Amino acid sequence: IMFPLVRNVLSSIRIRSIQQIRTRQNHSKYSPDFHDKYGNILLAGGTAFCLVAWVLIATQIGIEWNLSPVGRVTPKEWNDD
């Protein structure tokens, strides 16, 4: 009998506190911060930089991609010296 009553009181307190926080946030004026101004530009720039770096690495340093060594690698002659 007591448990549902306590649960209802606690939930109503939580709802009131959430509503108070919302009303406080709605009354304050919103001013854009650094992330609002430059966040998307920085994200796009960083993505472009990484893509360009990977493309240059993949095409310019001469990696032979996924080529099998079977038939190319021959054993060296054994030296008994």
Per-residue confidence of the chain (81 residues) as pLDDT tens digits?
A: 567 767 776 666 666 666 666 666 555 566 788 888 899 999 999 999 999 999 998 888 877 666 676 767 777 788 776
Amino acid 79: pLDDT: 78
Amino acid 29: pLDDT: 66
Amino acid 45: pLDDT: 96
Query: How many residues in total does the chain contain?
Result: 81
Amino acid 40: pLDDT: 93
What topology does CATH give the domain 31-63? Cytochrome C Oxidase; Chain K (4.10.51)
Amino acid 27: pLDDT: 58
Strand, helix or coil for residue 74:
coil
> Alpha helix locations (H) across the chain?
2-27, 34-60
CA–CA separation, 40 vs 16, rounded Å?
A: 35
CA-based R_g, the chain, Å: 32
Mark residue 10 as left, alpha or beta (left: phi above 0; alpha: psi -120 to 50; beta: remaining).
Answer: alpha
Measured in whole angstroms, how far is the alpha carbon of residue 9 from the centre of its chain? 40
